[in-house]
Structure 1
Amino acid sequence: MAVHLALLRAIGPATHAKMSMQDLRQACRAEGLGTVATYIQTGNLIIGSELPPNAVQAAVERALLRFGLTNRVVIRAPAALAAVLVENPFPEAAATRPSDLCVCFLAEPVPAALLARLDGHAGPERIRLVGARDLCVDYPAGVTGSKLTPGVIERRLSTPLTARNWNTVGKLSALAGPA
């Protein structure tokens, strides 16, 4: 059975009023997904299923519709998270400020021309693409107050994304098991 990580965009207090993580797990199982576990309350699913990634994504999106939610779902294999952890372009930030190092999981690969839209930002943030769809962003002054938030990155790149801090990426990778 393959393991898939489903990362839901924009899960928080407003969505919790409509859906608990327990309810989400049950809805995903009702959509034909095998084993479903969640990590913290921000829409991180670890799914064991024989379905291919696109079918897992569609099943999670159908599960969300049961609650009236249309949040974007980004799917990653455990190997993709392991690669981000290994290829970490900012090891000092990961070691000293892991909550200020984010990984933006892009829904689609971004051409280099679009990545250029992030060049020249005025803040202290550092940005590196890992693979074709994972963008590491170091926020040395913290995400709060930054002018280059994940929402701004999403608009500049014209592709949906969902962001997780380094601690969460590491924990999800560990929970997903060996790549």
Structure 2
Amino acid sequence: MQLEMEKIEACLSKLEEEKKKTIDMDPSADLTAVYEQFNNLVVTEVSKCKSIALEYIKDAPTVEGSSVHGRGGSRPGFSSTKRETVLLPKFSGDEKSAFLKYPVWKLQWEDHIKEYEPRYRATMLTSHLDEKALQQIIGLENEYDNAMKQFHRYYSDSNKVIKACLDEIR
């Protein structure tokens, strides 16, 4: 685990160096080289960090639902134990952070939404998105699979992700 943390810290140091270079850059200069350099350095390093984070998420222990016991007596075929409701993550479509937070949200969402019956998923999705995020699935509010595809297309668009990263660096 220490080695993984050192890798992440090294990635962060590289990003900070690139940020300093970007700040000192001439604003009238051609940005094509900057975009290419950003893709080569930052996107690659962020991908490595995401891989490391995904490994930790995959290996993390799952939270089991707690039991709530009903009244004393028992009836055949009836269990007085209930599972705790799974809390689904909320998503904000705020352009400043949405593209950077989407991959983590999506992993958590997909992991938890499977606890719900398919007929409730569209409603659960719309109730866990803010107004800006809901704008991306207008017309698909009752079609869970199509809404998720559209949502994924929009928030995983590489050009928008790169722009969000550049805006974050500035």
- TM norm structure 1: 0.22
Which has the larger strand fraction? Answer: 1
User: Which of structures 1 and 2 has the bigger CA Rg?
Assistant: 2
Which has the larger helix fraction? Answer: 2
Greater RCO, CA 8 A, separation 6+: 1
- TM norm structure 2: 0.23
